[in-house]
Amino acid sequence: MSFIGSLLGLVLTLFLLVLIARLILDWIVTLSDNPQGVRRPREIVYRFTEPVIAPVRRVLKPVRLGGVQIDLAFTAVFIAVLILRAVAFAL
């Protein structure tokens, strides 16, 4: 395993953790009656993830299923990070 591959894998792992934090914070906001306590952490997480997700969202629009909207851009970025992380650690 090369140093560059390990470093890239570490960065992608950290980004994956931030994506998971975004997912959890979004669910807290959706399910909570008073989501004011997570407003600041959510802003921070969005600041890191939105520059990556926004360009993908322009191509993959959210899908509406009844009253629920599924963000395909988030899902695509999440899967891409998982794949890239596996490739980076294999280098």
What's the pLDDT tens digit per position in 20-32? 999 999 889 888 8
Structural contact between residues 89 and 3, judged by C-beta atoms closer than 8 angstroms:
no
Structural contact between residues 19 and 77, judged by C-beta atoms closer than 8 angstroms:
yes
Q: What is the pTM of this model?
A: 0.86
The total number of structural domains in the chain stands at: 1
What's the pLDDT tens digit per position in 33-84? 777 888 889 999 999 999 999 999 999 988 888 888 888 999 999 999 999 9
23, 62, 65, 55: which is closest to 42 by C-alpha?
23
62, 84, 73: which is closest to 16 by C-alpha?
84
- Name the residue range of residue 86's domain: 3-90
Structural contact between residues 22 and 52, judged by C-beta atoms closer than 8 angstroms:
no
